[in-house]
Amino acid sequence: MDRRQFLTAGALAGLSVWVASCADAEQTASPSTPASSPDPGTPAAQATEPTVSGIVAEGLNVPWAIAFLRDGSALVTQRDDATIVRVSPNGDVATVGDVSDAAPRGEGGLQGIALTPNEDAVVVYYTTENDNRLVRMDFDGNRVSNPRPLITGLDMAFNHHGGPIVRGPDGYLYVAVGDAADPDVAQDVNALNGKILRVDDDGRPAPENPFDNEVWSMGHRNNEGLAFDASGRLWASEFGQDRRDELNLIERGGNYGWPEFEGESDDPRFISPAATWTTDEASPAGLAIIGDTAYMAALRGRRLWTIPLGDGSSSAVGQPRSLFTDTYGRLRAVAAAPDGSLWVSTSNTDGRGRPEDGDDRILRVTV
C-alpha cells in the first residue's frame, strides 16, 4: 500500500482499502525549484503579491471546474451531486442542469467543462456506472440539455480519473484522461487512458495528431489541471505517486514517463517536468495562467502555488511560491476570470477536507 492508499483507507472508515493516491499527495518544491518566498518587505513582493479580495459564492458541492461565459459569469461543475451551476460575479448561483447518468464515486463524478466558442453547448467529462466519458450538451443560456456522447469507454477506477478540459488556441479540445490505477496503460499509445487527448467538438481526433488517433501526449498518471500560456503552450499539473508531483510543458507526441519514472529523469525517451514537488505540500489540481505566471491549486497541500513561466522561449520556470497555506483548506479549481482576477474553489466537502460553515466556496483572488 502506498502513501495515498493509506490515507484514503483511513478516511473511508468501514470501507475496504482502495488504491487512492492522486488527490492527497502533499508536496514541497524540489531542490531545483525551491518554494521559499521573497522577503515580504521588498517592494517587488508587495507589488505582486496576490490577495483574496472576496468570496464569490458559498455552499457549493465540490466545485471541480470553472468555465467563464462572455458576460463574466461562469458555469461550475459540482462533482459529487453531478450538477452544473451558473455563478455570477456578484454571487448569484443558479442550477442550469444535471447529468442524469453520472455516478460519482471516489475521486470521480462530474469533472471538467468547456464551452463551445458561441456558447451554445458545453462539453463535460464525467464518471458513469461503467466508464468515464466525454459528452456534449446543448446550452441555451439557462439550461443544459440533450446529452450526446462523444467519447465513451474510458477506463475508470476509484481514483486517477483525470478530467480537465481546455480549448486550445487552435480551437480544439484538450482532455486529460487518468490511468485509472492501471499504470502500464499510460505507455500504450493505442489506449486513451494515461493520456492527454486532442479532439474536435464531435470527439473526433484533431488533424495532425501524432499517432493518428485522439492521443496528443502519453505517459501520464493523473492530470487534473490544463492551461495554455500567452505563447500558445500547453501546461499540465500531474499527481505523482510517492516521490514527485509535477508541472509539465506538454509537447506534441511527448512521452512523460509514467510509470517508468516520476519526477526528473535523464532518460532521453521521456520528457522531464518543468517543476516538481515532493510528497508533502502539493497534490496539484486546477491550473490557470495569467501573464507569465501559472497558478496551481493544491489539495492536501492546502495552498495556491505560483510558478513564473518566463517569456515563452524555454521550458525553464522560476522559483515556485506558496500562498494562503492552511487558510482556506483544500484548493481545487483555478480559472482566469475576464476581469483579470482568479476564481479559486475550495474542496473541503470532498470527504478528505475539514469543512467549515460556507464550504465549499469560490474565492476571488486579485493578482
pLDDT of residue 281: 82
Cell numbers given for 2: 502506498
What does each C-alpha distance from 34 to 42, 146, 318, 323 come to in angstroms? 19, 48, 9, 14
Cell numbers given for 164: 480537465
pLDDT of residue 14: 37
pLDDT bin (cut points 50, 70, 90) of residue 278 is confident
Q: Where are the domains positioned within the chain?
A: 3-26+40-366
Segment 43-81, tens digit of pLDDT: 333 346 999 999 999 999 999 999 999 999 999 999 999
Closest to 24 in 3D by CA, of 39, 1, 40, 6: 6
pLDDT bin (cut points 50, 70, 90) of residue 280 is confident
Rounded CA separation 198/168 (Å): 9
pLDDT of residue 15: 32
pLDDT of residue 311: 84
Per-residue pLDDT, averaged over 132-149, amounts to: 98
Per-residue pLDDT, averaged over 179-201, amounts to: 98
Of all residues in the chain, the percent with pLDDT exceeding 70 is 87
Cα Rg of the chain (Å, integer): 19
The string over 322-360, giving b where at least 16 C-beta atoms fall within 10 Å of a residue's C-beta and e elsewhere, is bbbeeebbbbbbbbbbeeebbbbbbbbbbebbeeeeebb
CATH homologous superfamily for 3-26+40-366?
TolB, C-terminal domain (2.120.10.30)
- Per the rule left: phi > 0, alpha: psi between -120 and 50, beta: everything else, 194 is left
Rounded CA separation 195/316 (Å): 23
pLDDT of residue 329: 97
pLDDT for residue 185 is more than 80: yes
pLDDT of residue 18: 35
pLDDT of residue 30: 43
Closest to 137 in 3D by CA, of 56, 186, 75: 75
Segment 298-331, tens digit of pLDDT: 999 999 999 999 888 888 999 999 999 999 999 9
Q: Would you say 225 and 286 are in contact if contact means Cβ atoms under 8 Å apart? A: yes
pLDDT for residue 21 is more than 80: no
φ, ψ of residue 355 to 5 degrees: the values are: -65, 145
Rounded CA separation 102/111 (Å): 10
> What average pLDDT is seen over the chain?
89
pLDDT for residue 38 is more than 70: no
pLDDT of residue 312: 85
Query: What does pTM read for this prediction?
Result: 0.89
Rounded CA separation 22/159 (Å): 7
Enumerate residues 6+ apart whose C-beta is below 8 A from 163: 64, 65, 108, 111, 112, 125, 132, 176, 178, 224
Per-residue pLDDT, averaged over 91-105, amounts to: 96
pLDDT bin (cut points 50, 70, 90) of residue 242 is confident
